[in-house]
């Protein structure tokens, strides 16, 4: 089963981010936007894992969750991944709470495995850009900001389809 460990964003945040994504669709680029229901922070991408290992992963998530407090997050600004000169992903940068989320992510990778990137919220995967300057200008002038609390660590199943991935939370463990 294809899985990752992360945190699905609260509904009110998804609505606000979806509005930003709608504005971004007018930018001079071709991109695949993350579906509103799939907006999340990824702690570790596990990929294909054997169903026999699911119970072990759930137990380790519970152990890790018992050590960390809820994290108040402020996400502000558009991030170009890997950088502004050559980017394949546009994301919301995490400003407040980044260090705590990184600690959680590092422990997950150490104890469970997978692949981790610095905390962010992916908005879209960029396929091509017609006017990079206009895109950079939009990003630098954007005052978009959201605040929310990461209150759990979730094991999320990802099923790929033509319409895009379908995420299902198969385990959730509350933070302190």
49 HSE (CA, 13 A, CB side)? 22
- Domain containing 74: what range? 2-174
pLDDT at residue 66 in the model: 97
pLDDT at residue 165 in the model: 93
Q: Can you tell me the distance from the alpha carbon of 20 to that of 151, in angstroms, rounded to the nearest whole number?
A: 24
**Which two three-digit tokens encode residue 70?**
């809820």
- Angle formed by the axes of helices 54-65 and 98-111, nearest 10°: 140
**Which two three-digit tokens encode residue 94?**
């995490």
Q: Can you tell me the distance from the alpha carbon of 67 to that of 75, in angstroms, rounded to the nearest whole number?
A: 24
Reply yes or no on whether 120 is catalytic.
yes
pLDDT in single tens digits along all 176 residues of the chain: 999 999 999 999 999 999 999 999 999 999 999 999 999 999 999 999 998 999 999 999 999 999 999 999 999 999 999 999 999 999 999 999 999 999 999 999 999 999 998 999 999 999 999 999 999 999 999 999 999 999 999 999 999 998 889 999 999 999 99
Which CATH number characterizes residue 158's domain?
3.90.1140.10
Reply yes or no on whether 171 is catalytic.
no
Please tell me which residue in 14, 100, 120, 171 is annotated as part of the active site.
Answer: 120
**What's the total number of domains in the chain?**
1
pLDDT at residue 72 in the model: 98
pLDDT at residue 32 in the model: 96
Please tell me which residue in 14, 40, 60, 171 is annotated as part of the active site.
Answer: 40
pLDDT at residue 156 in the model: 98
């Amino acid at each position: 089963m294809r899985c990752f460990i992360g945190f699905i964003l609260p509904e009110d945040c998804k609505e606000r981010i979806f509005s930003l994504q709608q504005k971004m669709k007018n930018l001079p680029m071709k991109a695949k936007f993350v579906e509103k229901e799939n907006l999340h922070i990824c702690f570790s991408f596990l990929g294909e894992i054997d169903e026999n290992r699911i119970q072990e992963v759930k137990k380790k998530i519970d152990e890790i969750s018992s050590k960390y407090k809820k994290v108040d997050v402020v996400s502000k600004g558009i991030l170009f991944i890997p950088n502004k000169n050559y980017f394949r992903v546009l994301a919301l940068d995490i400003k407040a709470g980044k260090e705590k989320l990184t600690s959680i992510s590092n422990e997950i990778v150490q104890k469970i495995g997978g692949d981790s990137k610095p905390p962010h919220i992916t908005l879209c995967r960029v396929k091509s850009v017609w006017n990079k300057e206009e895109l950079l200008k939009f990003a630098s002038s954007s005052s978009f900001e959201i605040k929310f609390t990461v209150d759990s660590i979730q094991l999320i199943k990802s099923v790929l389809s033509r319409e895009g991935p379908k995420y299902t939370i198969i385990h959730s463990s509350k933070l302190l």
